[in-house]
Structure 1
Amino acid sequence: MAFSLFSSKNRIINLVLNDHSIRFVELKQANPPTAQKWGERFLPPGIICDGKIADMDSLANILDECIDEWKIQRRQIRFVVPDQLFIIRKVSVPSEIQEDEMKGYLYLELGSSIHLPFEEPIFDYYLLSQNDKTIDLLLFAAPEQYVMEYADLLSSLKLTPVAADISPLALYRLYHHLGFGNKNENLFTIQFDLTSVNLCIFEGAVPVVMRPFTLPFNLEHWEIQCDMQRPIDFKYTGEADRLVIQFEDILNEISKLIDFYRYTLNKEKNGITKFLFIGDHPMLGAVIDEMKERFETPVERLMLDSKTKGSVPSNLLLSLGLALKEVN
């Protein structure tokens, strides 16, 4: 399953951009997942907002500096479509639609029988089940305009975009590659970053529902330390109560999505079997501890062995999962 826009090739730079950072990984080997090189750059507020490029000139200048600093000129690029831009939706189509007709059928039905919150989408789909009357699909869609702004920007900097992906799939790809995937589990992934949270529930390897939301971020309340030799360090200097309220909101959203999945999507057949955390928020550990107190379901954090040569910092794991795309 892929959210494909372009044909893919080898020796690709794997780029993740969000509202507060640019990160990349170049894969050296897949077993165990080892990086040839990696890097990251902090993005000041206002350049990317809610996943959309807000200041194209500034982003182009910063990316140009990164390309020179990281020595990735004229390379092929995979990138992650920001979580706030795409949606996952279950749709049903008539069973007589053939596989080679499916893309065309979906394209014609988008905006009429299949409603999306944006026009002119770029999309992919995944077959769930089929009976005599209907075919059930998962539809992955994003506004073509905003996705292509990223692709066009990379092209303008003499990079070659060859594939786009979505973060839940990149996260699950790494999880599965490390040998943790279980086709019988209902995995609840939580990507908890400095400026956003993305919640996604997987049935086996299939993401069936996702909820992204943006976190309030005031640069005056944070101390940011950037060092090319080490991961970006975020330290909160504001009022502690602000974070407490923020954490409580996140936990409430988690509970709401659990209920939606259990009573609406799953019809009370099965519950969540595991929570999996990943992210760069400095208080991630505190939220994990609180989750363990509130839920009986196992709570884990996706980590690599930091002693392994070539092991990337934990805040670059999403880039590493992207790098494993189409690795056998």
Structure 2
Amino acid sequence: MGLFKKSVIGLEMDSKEIRAVEITGSVRQPVISAWGRMSLPEGIVKDGRVMNVESLSLYLDKLISQNGFKSRDVMLGISNQDVIIRFASFPKVPEDKIRNMVMFQAQEYIPVPLEELQLDYVVAGEKQNEDGAFLNIILVGARKKMLHDFINAFSGAKLTVKEIDSVTMAIGRAALCSIKEDVYAVAGFNHDIANLMVFNKGVFSMARSVPFSQSVAWKNENGNYSKTTSVMADILISELRSSIGYYRMQSEDSVEGVYLIGLPDIRAILEKFRDAGYEAKIAQPYLDIPVRNKSSGLGNFSTNDYSAAISLAIRGLGV
């Protein structure tokens, strides 16, 4: 039994800011011990990718030093078009043979040469049909160069990246711990990207990521970006409608609820969803996790602002 409690920082970012939460303890008994946000000037991060490694290192160092973080170990969440998520089905094999099977057959599902990617997977469940027993596998691949840019930025801030996770998966875990419907959709978002997911009886059934910058609606008639809450909400609603429609073509189950996880302006976006006819709700994960020094000089803490970072840190405690 260790004399010291484990501590990990969950951290994710977009073009506007970095968000981080430090959690101490264990997966079963986590305590939020520090948190913080750091605004980023334009051009350091774009659409979830690092554009300026040295500048990002400086802002990471400021975030850690100014907000009472003690750990230097980071569970990093990334969300950009260099992250590929695919759903696959493989014949059921013994647990110790799953990894070799997945790595051998993954190229059939991934549209990028595997040697360009860091590949991981999650077993999402099992199914049985007339052909036998199968494993439902979520494949997650990320381009190595993009990952190296992040790792170099963290190294420059004297931080250790313990592991890198998809923000989509982190938001998914946050949703699973707080939503009780059998079949529901989640719209997770930050300043740059929408992550759309559907869950069925606790199983991650569909996921897709859409950068806001790829939408025609994101630009005004002069070609300038119109980054308003209203435009963001319209894109989210359109993409979620498309995702639910696709899911319903693949499944007989109807989506029972729609939940939002993200920032900015989540309550204004919620009203736009309701105006569009969705009985949407804001997901409320992690409300039961104790927050140390909640009334300290670190500022007000809201789990809604840090859902992905909390999910990342909790996973990091188990690594």
Q: Please indicate the TM-score interval, normalised by the length of the shorter structure.
A: 0.7 to 0.9
Shift of the alpha carbon at 1:39? 0.9
User: What per-residue deviation string (whole Å, max 9, x for no partner) do you get for residues 19-49 of structure 1?
Assistant: 2211111125688975211111011222112
Gaps of 5+ in 1: 1-8, 218-237
| From 267, 276, 281, the counterpart of 1:294 | 276
Cα deviations across residues 98-137 of structure 1 (Å, max 9, x unaligned)? Answer: 43233223323343x3333464322223143254275442
Code of the residue aligned with 2:140 in structure 1: it is: F
The percentage of aligned residue pairs carrying the same residue is 20
In structure 2, what is the Cα distance between the partners aligned to 1:295 and 1:185?
Answer: 21
With normalisation by structure 2, the TM-score equals 0.76
Q: Secondary structure at the match of 1:11?
A: strand
**Structure 2 matches for 1:1-328, cutoff 5 A?**
10-28=6-24, 34-72=31-69, 75-95=72-92, 97-111=93-107, 113-117=108-112, 119=114, 120-121=116-117, 122-131=119-128, 132=132, 134-177=134-177, 180-182=178-180, 185-216=182-213, 244-264=230-250, 266=251, 269-282=252-265, 284-295=266-277, 297-302=279-284, 304=287, 310=294, 312-313=301-302, 314-325=304-315
CA RMSD of aligned residues (A): 3.5
Q: Give me the whole-angstrom Cα distance separating, in 1, the residues matched to 2:247 and 2:186.
A: 13
Change (3 A) 1:43 1:255: same
Aligned residues of 1:74 and 1:160 also touching (Cα < 8 A) = no
Contact residue 179 and residue 283 of structure 2 kept, 8 A: no
What SS class does the counterpart of residue 129 from structure 1 fall into? strand
AA aligned to 1:196 is I
| Deviation at residue 293 of structure 1 after TM alignment | 3.4
* TM norm structure 1: 0.74
Structure with the bigger RCO (C-alpha within 8 Å, sep 6+) is 2
State the Cα deviation string for residues 297-319 of structure 1 (Å, max 9, x = none).
Answer: 453343759x9863723322321
Q: Which amino acid aligns with 2:273?
A: M
**Residue 253 (structure 1) shift:** 1.0
Aligned-pair distance for 1:16?
A: 1.4
Cα distance change, pair 239–285 in 1 and its aligned pair in 2 (3 A): farther
Q: How many matched pairs?
A: 291
Q: Whole-Å Cα distance in 2 between the matches of residues 242 and 163 of structure 1? A: 33
Unaligned runs of at least 5 residues, structure 2: 215-223, 295-299
Q: Output the CA distance in 1 between the equivalents of 2:127 and 2:272.
A: 41
